Amino acid sequence: MLEIKNLHVELEEEDKQILKGVDLSVGAGQVHAIMGPNGSGKSTLSYVLSGKDGYEVTDGSATLDAVDILDMDPEERAAAGLFLAFQYPVEIPGVGNMTFLRTAVNAQRKARGEDEMSAGDFLKFIREKAKSLNIDAEMLKRPVNVGFSGGEKKRNEILQMAMLEPKMCILDETDSGLDVDAMKLVAEGVNALRSEGRSFLVITHYQRLLDHIKPDVVHIMADGKIIKSGGPELALEVENNGYADLLAEVA
């Protein structure tokens, strides 16, 4: 599904290399987790994959279903099935959450040559998804993320994911800032979406999320590279011992 090879990324503004050769392959239907110290490049990877400005790919490649995505506009990547749940969801005053989602859903459908969703169907669909994530109707009417609590923003990201039904979902610290119950809801939301044709890349600092969303593979990222990959036990090791031993291993 997602194939990243030797990805090197620099900041456009300053001469600073952030990703220094990332190799990662997420198969269809799989869940991979990425853990790693602060500043190791996890969010950068997620931004580069989704097409944010300001980064320059100096080497390597990234493909989604064997199609190169690095030359695509962000909206094309989205239409191709890529989704990023932001570590810091953006507030957009003046744009209603509902309007935003409907515009997004229909833009993607249009890009894929599908019919737009009728207003009625959309409403039914969003109500159902919102309910399962414990998002009340009031929140749907408010401007995107404006005045939302940290946890509400994260749940709103998952709602968008549920509505857009992407095939490659990247979750950047979606668990941070969630209370225990919200984390369960989010995990359930993710699990409900798990299917053969859909893959997840879950960036997290905590083992706890991975108790709910069982990963197939856990990667450790440090200083712009994947330094170790393994099974769920790797996450436990990090939880218990931190990164010192792992970093020492590769040093």
Sketch the per residue contact string, 145 through 184, with other proteins: x for CB under 8 A, - otherwise.
---------------x---x--------------------
The option from ligand ATP, Mg ion, other proteins, none interacting with 39 (CB < 5 to 8 A, set by class) reads ligand ATP
The answer for 28, left when phi > 0, alpha when psi is -120 to 50, beta otherwise, is beta
Selected from 50, 97, 156, 204, the binder of other proteins by CB under 8 A is 50
Choose the binding region for Mg ion from 63-71, 84-92, 94-102, 118-126 (rule: CB under 5 A): 84-92
Q: Work out what residue 18 binds among other proteins, ligand ATP, Mg ion, none; the CB cut-off runs from 5 to 8 Å by kind.
A: ligand ATP
40 binding partner (options other proteins, ligand ATP, Mg ion, none; Cβ < 5 to 8 Å by kind): ligand ATP
d(CA 239, CA 242): 6
Residue from the set 35, 62, 84, 238 that interacts with other proteins by CB under 8 A? 84
DSSP E strand stretches across 71-216: 82-85, 92-96, 143-144, 168-172, 199-203
- Residue 20 is encoded by which pair of tokens? 């220094």
* Residue 215's binding partner out of Mg ion, ligand ATP, other proteins, none, with CB under 5 to 8 Å set by partner kind: none
The pair of structure tokens assigned to 100 is 């935003």
84 near 42, Cβ under 8 Å? no
Please select the residue that binds Mg ion; options are 30, 40, 43, 108, rule is CB under 5 A: 43
Q: First-to-last CA distance in the chain? A: 31
Task: Report the C-alpha dihedral over residues 19, 22, 28, 32, rounded to 10 degrees.
Answer: -80
Measured CA to CA, the distance from residue 160 to residue 183 in angstroms comes to 16
Residue 73: which of ligand ATP, Mg ion, other proteins, none does it interact with, CB under 5 to 8 A by kind?
other proteins
Say whether residue 40 binds Mg ion (CB under 5 A). no
Query: Residue 156: helix, strand or coil by DSSP?
Result: helix
Contact 131, 162 (CB under 8 A): no
Give the C-alpha separation, 185 to 106, whole Å: 26
Residues 45 and 53: their CA atoms lie apart, in Å, by: 13
Q: Which of 188, 179, 235 is nearest to 212 (CA)?
A: 188
Among 26, 32, 86, 130, binds other proteins (CB under 8 A): 86
Query: Residue 43 CB, nearest distance to ligand ATP (Å)?
Result: 3
Q: Which is nearer to Mg ion, 18 or 162 (CB)?
A: 18
Residue among 83 and 199 whose Cβ is closer to other proteins: 83
- Can you give the binding site for other proteins, defined by CB under 8 A? 50-53, 73-75, 77-79, 83-84, 86, 89-95, 99-101, 103-105, 107-108, 111, 143-144, 160, 164
Residues engaged in binding Mg ion (CB under 5 A): 42-43, 87
